[in-house]
Amino acid sequence: MAETKALSEPQKALIKLGLGRDVDLALHLPLRYEDETRIVKLRDCREGETAQIEATVTDSQVQFRGRRQLVVTVDDGTDTCQLRFFSFYPSQQKALAVGTRLRIRGELKGGFAGWGMMHPTYKPAGGELPEALTPVYSTVAALPQAYLRKAVQSGLARADLSETLPPDAPPAPARATTWTLLQALQFLHHPTPDVSLAALEDHSHPAWQRLKAEELLAQQLSQLESRREHEQLRAAPLVPGRGGLHEQLLAALPFQLTAAQRRVSEEIAQGLARATPMNRLLQGDVGSGKTVVAALAAAIAIDAGRQCALMAPTEILAEQHFRKLIGWLEPLLAPRGQRVAWLTGSQRKKERVEMLELVASGEAALVIGTHAVIQEQVQFKALGLAVIDEQHRFGVEQRLALRGKTAGEGNEPHMLMMSATPIPRTLAMSYYADLDVSTIDELPPGRTPVVTKLISDSRREEVIERIRAQAAAGRQVYWVCPLIEESESLDLTNATETHVALSEALPGVMVGLLHSRMPQPEKKAVMSLFTGGQMGVLVSTTVIEVGVDVPNASLMVIEHAERFGLSQLHQLRGRVGRGAAASACVLLYSAGDNGRLGETARSRLKAMAETIDGFEIARRDLEIRGPGEFLGARQSGAPLLRFADLVLDAALLEWAKALAPILLDRHPELARKHVMRWLGGRQDYLKA
Q: How far is the CB of 260 from ligand ADP (least distance, A)?
A: 9
3-state class percentages of the chain: helix first, strand second, coil last, to nearest 5: 45, 20, 40
In the set 238, 333, 420, 553, which binds ligand ADP (CB under 6 A)? 420
Q: How far is the CB of 329 from ligand ADP (least distance, A)?
A: 14
Using CB under 6 A, which residues numbered 242 to 271 contact ligand ADP? Answer: 255-258, 261
CB nearer to ligand ADP: pick between 222 and 419: 419
Instruction: Please give the distance of CA 399 from its chain centroid, rounded to a whole number.
Output: 17
| Binding region for ligand ADP (CB under 6 A) out of 279-287, 310-318, 359-367, 504-512 | 279-287
Q: How far is the CB of 418 from ligand ADP (least distance, A)?
A: 7
Q: Tell me: does residue 438 bind ligand ADP (CB under 6 A).
A: no
What does 578 interact with, of Mg ion, ligand ADP, none (CB < 5 to 8 A by kind)?
Answer: ligand ADP
Q: How far is the CB of 629 from ligand ADP (least distance, A)?
A: 20
Q: How far is the CB of 503 from ligand ADP (least distance, A)?
A: 29
In the set 244, 444, 632, 639, which binds ligand ADP (CB under 6 A)? 444
Distance CA 503, CA 499 (A): 6
Q: How far is the CB of 426 from ligand ADP (least distance, A)?
A: 23
Distance CA 392, CA 632 (A): 7
For 309-375, the DSSP string reads EEE-SSHHHHHHHHHHHHHHHHHHHGGGT-EEEEE-TT--HHHHHHHHHHHHHT-EEEEEESGGGGS
For 431-460, the DSSP string reads H-TT-EEEEE-SPPTTPPPPEEEEEEGGGH
CB 278 within 8 A of CB 403: no
CB 370 within 8 A of CB 399: no
DSSP state at residue 294:
H
What does 383 interact with, of ligand ADP, Mg ion, none (CB < 5 to 8 A by kind)?
Answer: none
CB nearer to Mg ion: pick between 206 and 547: 547
Q: Tell me: does residue 579 bind ligand ADP (CB under 6 A).
A: no
CB nearer to Mg ion: pick between 209 and 344: 344
SS3 677: helix
What does 286 interact with, of ligand ADP, Mg ion, none (CB < 5 to 8 A by kind)?
Answer: ligand ADP
Distance CA 57, CA 78 (A): 14
The contact set with Mg ion (CB under 5 A) reads 547
| Binding region for ligand ADP (CB under 6 A) out of 111-119, 122-130, 282-290, 408-416 | 282-290
Query: Strands 436-440, 279-284: parallel, antiparallel or unpaired by DSSP?
Result: parallel
What does 439 interact with, of ligand ADP, Mg ion, none (CB < 5 to 8 A by kind)?
Answer: none
Q: How far is the CB of 440 from ligand ADP (least distance, A)?
A: 7
CB 308 within 8 A of CB 365: yes
Q: How far is the CB of 477 from Mg ion (least distance, A)?
A: 21
Q: How far is the CB of 615 from ligand ADP (least distance, A)?
A: 14
Which phi and psi angles does 351 have, rounded to 5°?
A: -65, -40
CB nearer to ligand ADP: pick between 15 and 580: 580
Residues contacting 168, CB < 8 A, separation 6+: 662, 666
Q: How far is the CB of 347 from ligand ADP (least distance, A)?
A: 24
For 393-438, the DSSP string reads GS-HHHHHHHHH--SSTT-BPEEEEEESSPPPHHHHHHH-TT-EEE
CB nearer to ligand ADP: pick between 30 and 284: 284
In the set 106, 120, 135, 287, which binds ligand ADP (CB under 6 A)? 287
Radius of gyration for the chain, computed over Cα atoms and rounded to the nearest angstrom: 32
Q: Tell me: does residue 288 bind ligand ADP (CB under 6 A).
A: yes
Output the residue with the shortest Cβ distance to ligand ADP: 289
In the set 238, 286, 527, 663, which binds ligand ADP (CB under 6 A)? 286
Q: Tell me: does residue 395 bind ligand ADP (CB under 6 A).
A: no
Cα angle 354, 358, 364 (rounded to 5 degrees) comes to 135
Q: How far is the CB of 325 from ligand ADP (least distance, A)?
A: 11
CB 403 within 8 A of CB 233: no
CB nearer to Mg ion: pick between 482 and 547: 547
For 242-283, the DSSP string reads SSSHHHHHHHH-SSPPPHHHHHHHHHHHHHHTSSSPPEEEEE
What does 393 interact with, of ligand ADP, Mg ion, none (CB < 5 to 8 A by kind)?
Answer: none
State the number of binding residues for ligand ADP (CB under 6 A): 19
- Binding track over 542-571 against ligand ADP, x by CB under 6 A: -----x-x-x--------------------
What is the helix (H) or strand (E) element at residue 142, kind and residue range? Answer: none
Give the Cβ contact number of residue 639 at 10 Å. 16
Distance CA 302, CA 366 (A): 8
CB nearer to ligand ADP: pick between 173 and 444: 444
Distance CA 158, CA 153 (A): 9
CB nearer to ligand ADP: pick between 26 and 264: 264
SS3 192: coil
Q: How far is the CB of 322 from Mg ion (least distance, A)?
A: 13
CB nearer to ligand ADP: pick between 261 and 344: 261
Q: Tell me: does residue 391 bind ligand ADP (CB under 6 A).
A: no
Side chain identity at residue 575, one-letter code: R
Distance CA 53, CA 105 (A): 6
What does 284 interact with, of Mg ion, ligand ADP, none (CB < 5 to 8 A by kind)?
Answer: ligand ADP
What does 287 interact with, of Mg ion, ligand ADP, none (CB < 5 to 8 A by kind)?
Answer: ligand ADP
CB nearer to Mg ion: pick between 440 and 607: 440
Q: How far is the CB of 259 from ligand ADP (least distance, A)?
A: 9
Q: How far is the CB of 289 from Mg ion (least distance, A)?
A: 9
In the set 284, 313, 413, 422, which binds ligand ADP (CB under 6 A)? 284
Residue 344 has, within 13 A of its CA and on its CB side, a CA count of: 18
Distance CA 224, CA 207 (A): 26
- Binding track over 604-633 against ligand ADP, x by CB under 6 A: ------------------------------
CB nearer to Mg ion: pick between 271 and 547: 547
CB nearer to ligand ADP: pick between 291 and 338: 291
Residues contacting 226, CB < 8 A, separation 6+: 433, 434, 686, 687
Q: How far is the CB of 670 from ligand ADP (least distance, A)?
A: 44
What does 639 interact with, of ligand ADP, Mg ion, none (CB < 5 to 8 A by kind)?
Answer: none
CB 61 within 8 A of CB 93: no
Residues contacting 548, CB < 8 A, separation 6+: 316, 317, 320, 527, 575
What does 261 interact with, of ligand ADP, Mg ion, none (CB < 5 to 8 A by kind)?
Answer: ligand ADP
Distance CA 554, CA 56 (A): 80
Q: Tell me: does residue 291 bind ligand ADP (CB under 6 A).
A: yes
Q: What's the 3-state SS for 472-530?
A: HCCCEEEEECCCCCCCHHHHHHHHHHHHHHHHHHCCCCCEEEECCCCCHHHHHHHHHHH
Q: Which residues bind ligand ADP (CB under 6 A)?
A: 255-258, 261, 284, 286-292, 420, 444, 547, 549, 551, 578
